[in-house]
Chain A
Amino acid sequence: MKKKDARIIAALTGVLMGVLYFPYVAGLITFWTYGALLVIGAPVFFLAAGFAMMAGEGEEDDPFIGY
C-alpha cells in the first residue's frame, strides 16, 4: 500500500467514526449500526494509520530463522 493511500484511508475511517459518534449519542443511529461501523472501522483505522506513519521503505526482510 502506498503511504499516501494509507493516509487517506486512515483519515477517512477516523473522521467517519468520530463524526458518526454524535448522531449515535443523540440516538439517531442504532447501537448495532454504529457498532458494525466500529468493528470494521477500528482495525482499518489502526492499520492504515500504522502504514501511513511507519511503513518500511526499503526491501523486505527474510523471516527469522534462528541465527
Chain B
Amino acid sequence: MIPEILAALFFGLLLLGLHRKVVARIQKRPGPPVWQEFLHAAKFFWKQTWVPKTASSLMFVGIVLVGIGIWVAALLVVIAGGNILIIFGIYMLQKIVEHGFGLSSGSPYGKFGGVRSVISAASEIPLFVSVAAIALFTHSLALQDIVAYQAVHGPLLLIVPPAAFAMFLVLLSKMPGGPFSVVEGKELVSGYKTEHFGFFRAGLYVCDGLKTTVLLWTFVLVFIGGLPTAGFIIVMVILMIILSFTCALTPMLTPFDSVTLQTLVTGAMLVYVGCIAAMGVPG
C-alpha cells in the first residue's frame, strides 16, 4: 500500500503542476515546470517551522494530521473499491480541514479564508444529487459494484450525463483558480493557508496531491468504469486538461454568486433525478 500512496501523491502533484502549466500557456506565459508543485512541497519541508504565538497549538498541528489522514483513508477506500459515500464524506470533511487551517492560527487572513470556506459549502450539495442518480441505476454505492454495472451497461457518463456534469462542477470547485474557488481568492493573501508554513505547508501539499488523485480517480471510476492503469492515467490527464481550460477561461465568481449558481444546479439536478425516479429506471 505504501507504494500506491506515494505514487498517488506524486501523480496528484504532477497533475496540479500540469494544471498550472496549461493555465499559464493559455495566458501566454511560459509557466513553471510541471514538477513545480513537487518542488514546492520538498522546499517547504526543509524550512524552519514553528507555531505562531497566538495559535491554538493543538488544533494548529492536529488539523494537518487530520488532513493527511483523511485523504490517505480516502485513497485506501478507492483502492479497495469501497463505498462512494465514505469518499464523499471525506471530501466534505476537507471543508472542516480548511476551517481548521484558517481559524486555528488567529490570523485575520486565515480567518477570512475559513469563513469563505463555510460560505462555499454549497459546492458539496450537487454531489449528493448525483450520488442519488447513480444509486437509482446501480442499486449500490460500492465502487466495485458501480464498476461492475458499467462493465455490463456501458459508462454512466452516457447514461446520466447531468450527474457527471454535477460532479464535474464539484471537481472544478476544488481546482485552484477555478470559478468557484472563492476559498483561495488572491485578495486573501493565501486564504486558509496563510499561517501554515514550513513543513505544515508541505503537509498541505501532501493533502492536495492525494486529494487531486482521489477525486479524479473516483470520477473516472464512477462515470467511465474500470480501465487498465495506463488508461486511468491517460483519462485523468485529459480530465485535468479539461478542468484547466475551464478554470483559465472562466472568471472567478463572488462567494455568494458561486453559492447561487451551485444551488441552481442542484435544483435542476433534483428535478432531473425526480423525473428519472418518476419514469422508472430502464433496465
CB-contact partner of B76 in A18, A35, A63, under 8 A: A35
CA distance A64 to B203 in the complex (A): 20
Q: Which residues of chain A in 9-66 are interfacial with respect to chain B, using CB atoms and an 8 Å cutoff?
A: 17-18, 21, 24, 31-32, 34-35, 38-40, 42-44, 46-47, 49-51, 53-56, 58-66
Decide if B50 touches A55 in the complex (CB within 8 Å).
yes
B54 on the interface (CB 8 Å rule)? yes
CB-contact partner of B53 in A35, A42, A61, under 8 A: A61
Tally of contact residues, B, Cβ under 8 A: 40
Give a binary string over B192-205; 1 marks a CB under 8 Å from any A CB, 0 the rest.
00110011101100
Decide if A46 touches B5 in the complex (CB within 8 Å).
no
Give a binary string over B44-76; 1 marks a CB under 8 Å from any A CB, 0 the rest.
011111111111000001001111110011001
B80 on the interface (CB 8 Å rule)? yes
CB-contact partner of A54 in B1, B48, B76, B107, under 8 A: B48
Decide if A54 touches B61 in the complex (CB within 8 Å).
no
B108 on the interface (CB 8 Å rule)? yes
B117 on the interface (CB 8 Å rule)? no
Chain B residues in 8 Å Cβ range of A42 = 5, 68-69, 72
Chain A residues in 8 Å Cβ range of B2 = 17-18, 21, 38
Decide if B53 touches A54 in the complex (CB within 8 Å).
no
Decide if B65 touches A65 in the complex (CB within 8 Å).
no
B224 on the interface (CB 8 Å rule)? no
Decide if A43 touches B80 in the complex (CB within 8 Å).
no
CA distance A17 to B200 in the complex (A): 21
B106 on the interface (CB 8 Å rule)? yes
Decide if B194 touches A47 in the complex (CB within 8 Å).
no
Decide if A62 touches B52 in the complex (CB within 8 Å).
yes
CA distance A66 to B195 in the complex (A): 12
B223 on the interface (CB 8 Å rule)? no
Given A38-B2, A50-B49, does the pair A64, B195 have CB atoms closer than 8 Å? Answer: yes
Decide if B107 touches A39 in the complex (CB within 8 Å).
no
Interface residues of B (CB under 8 A from A): 1-2, 5, 45-55, 61, 64-69, 72-73, 76, 80, 105-110, 189, 194-195, 198-200, 202-203, 206
Interface residues of A (CB under 8 A from B): 17-18, 21, 24, 31-32, 34-35, 38-40, 42-44, 46-47, 49-51, 53-56, 58-66
What would 25 A/B residue contacts be, using CB atoms closer than 8 Å?
Answer: A17-B2, A31-B76, A35-B76, A35-B80, A38-B76, A39-B72, A39-B76, A42-B5, A42-B68, A42-B72, A43-B64, A43-B67, A43-B69, A43-B72, A43-B203, A46-B68, A46-B206, A55-B50, A56-B49, A56-B50, A59-B53, A62-B53, A63-B107, A64-B189, A65-B107
